[in-house]
Structure 1
Amino acid sequence: MRKRKPKMRIVEPDPRYGDPVVTMFVNNLMWNGKKGLAFKLFYDAMDIVEDKVEESAYDTWKKALDTAMPQVEVRSRRIGGATFQIPTEIHPKRKVATGMKWIIKFARQRNGKTFAEKLAAEIMAASKGEGAAVKRKEDTHRMAESNRAFAHFRV
């Protein structure tokens, strides 16, 4: 490699929960640089979750994120004219980022009035082990399991 690895940016903790992971989630949620709006939407969704669930909204969100994070993924690799789907372990930071992006993506695709309601519904569904983000994780794991025979091609 010609270049050295870039320095990791330090993410500030969010004002309500004091967790940098929440700020990372809001950064993924943000559109067109509107971070204040993204924080408002996230906190509104957390208030909706707080009303509907017995445990705290923060714990529900953490549980949803853990449930949506994939452990393995498949990577395409061309070997001798054939393309194989090779299952590989995922780096811990990539796991978290992928889980966040899936929750946000499928919250945007949900039916509902406001985005806060959609996000709250996706968080509650993911914390129960349901929802589209968890389904995507299970599909990814199933694909990795079915291609386990090609694991010896891993680099």
Structure 2
Amino acid sequence: MIRIQLVDDEPNILSSLRRLLKPQDWQIDTFNNVEDALGSLLEHEYAVIVSDYQMPTADGVTYLQFAKQKQPNAIRLVLSAYGDRESMIKAINQAEVYRYLSKPWDDYELVAAIKSAVDLYQLHKENQQLREENDAQRALIENWPR
């Protein structure tokens, strides 16, 4: 099951996002405070993490940097009403954000961006699995009696 984490200090935004993403077959976890979202990172594996850029207790880039340390394979996106160039560069460089989405959002664009992030996550996981299988096969061949 694909699990998505949404972090925004505005409950109505989280409700709208949950409603928008409901038709997808994903587990959606919403958090309106960073502390609860941080705790959830320790309990669940997320494919995609979407965070608001500006929240009262922490900015989204700081949160996503922490999320990157805890779950480096999760694909990170920023959702923000503040679309200035400097904040986008900061998000991309510091938290390795995959996409920067603006509020208000276009429903189709937002769903497409998250679907694309899920696809990328699944591709990375598949590649990792294939590398591990390849390494195991290589080890068997190298240890084969001659």
Question: TM bucket by the smaller chain?
Answer: 0.3 to 0.5
Q: TM-score, normalised by structure 2?
A: 0.33
Higher relative contact order (CA 8 A, sep 6+): 1
Q: TM-score, normalised by structure 1?
A: 0.32
Choose between structure 1 and 2: higher helix proportion. Answer: 1
Choose between structure 1 and 2: higher strand proportion. Answer: 2
